[in-house]
Structure 1
């Protein structure tokens, strides 16, 4: 696991793949989606308030995720990602566990995140890892919009 900057070359696969995936699921060109992914200032994902972590295998990013300050006691998780060739190996769980550990170390007491309604894999991951849904889980996700979750640390 390595902390990197948003502009680090090691992070490029994360942003490129998320741009393709979100564009496919929600519409928009990879360039448009990439612009949205990079809308937050890079310094929000650096210590002490934030971090961008990559799980490396043979020197290449295979999974990653980030958090940034949401409020005085809450970190907001962002950009949770696993390379398509490495899915179903539990790597996202490893990334989440490390982000949680580091958020505690940074003084956060709570995590918050949103995911899209067309990302059932993410929804299931968060439910399986102890996040509380802040929406009606029996409702059609498409009628809700972003699906919000929280977790006390």
Structure 2
């Protein structure tokens, strides 16, 4: 895979202005795929996107949010938050700019999130994806995630498709302290 331009991972929060185009695009995608379902239950894609406050994705709260910047522009991003199980983090909002799909960006974000989760002391990732997101389902299966539902299950009846992955063993790492800088750039 060729890297185009100058790329770097930047740890920040979903409200970072650099993340706005990705967040807006993801919100539009949720609306286009699930809008009528949201309306049936009095919800919206906008409310779904706002359900998790930024602080859940900070190391102080056991989470993390990363952007992949290319020449200073966010091309992909993703996050995890603390899960009730102390050894588990829950992956949220892995997304790549729709104009740049098929470049392995989501795979790179997942790998970076997994590495960060290990640095923060987690040993397992849990996530759910929507039943109308076959690309996400394929990504997680390709990257070694285990589906926690039957392959023959009616996805529409399930609505949310759960997955897990046990992260590679590493020496125990203490959870990153709240004193970690708000932004960390890794090249």
Flag whether TM exceeds 0.5 (same fold): yes
1:103 equivalent among 109, 117, 120: 117
How much has 1:13 moved relative to structure 2?
A: 1.2
The number of aligned residues is: 152
Partner of 1:54: 67
Q: Deviations over 1:39-68 (max 9, x none)?
A: 112111011411110111111111110000
Partner of 2:26: 18
1:65 equivalent among 67, 74, 78: 78
Larger Rg computed on CA atoms: 2
The gaps in structure 1 that reach 5 residues or longer are none
- TM-score normalised to the size of structure 1? 0.94
Matched, 1:131 2:145: yes
Q: 1:149 is paired with a residue of what secondary structure?
A: strand
Over aligned residues, Cα RMSD in angstroms?
1.5
Matched, 1:27 2:55: no
The gaps in structure 2 that reach 5 residues or longer are 1-8, 168-187
Partner of 1:8: 16
Mapped partners of 2:87, 2:51: distance in 1: 23
Greater relative contact order: 1 or 2 (C-alpha under 8 angstroms, separation 6 or more)? 2
Q: 2:81 is paired with a residue of what secondary structure?
A: strand
Q: Which runs of 4+ in 1 moved over 3 A?
A: none
